[in-house]
Amino acid sequence: MVYIQLFVYGGSSSVGQYAIQLAKLSGYKVVTTASKRNHELVKSLGADLVFDVSNPTPTCHFTPD
């Protein structure tokens, strides 16, 4: 199976939250950025991979299938 990924910058914003949900309903794997305190929020909306926007070193939280 081929997965198409979509990157949403600012996943915890109002538009970002809508984009994450719409992308998941459309079958995309969603990669987004959010502050550490909002990681659980964007994951609950369907984000598969979340990068901490405030950290200069790339770190992420992966939600396995």
User: 10-37, pLDDT tens digit by residue?
Assistant: 999 999 999 999 999 999 999 999 999 9
Q: How many domains does the chain have?
A: 1
Looking at per-residue confidence, does 54 or 50 come out higher?
50
Q: Which domain holds residue 45?
A: 5-62
Whichever domain contains 55, its CATH number is 3.40.50.720
pLDDT of 38 > 80? The answer is yes
Overall pTM > 0.85: no
Looking at per-residue confidence, does 37 or 58 come out higher?
37
pLDDT of 65 > 70? The answer is no
Q: Tell me what pLDDT residue 1 has.
A: 66
Task: Give start and end residues of each alpha helix (H) in 1-65.
Answer: 14-25, 39-45
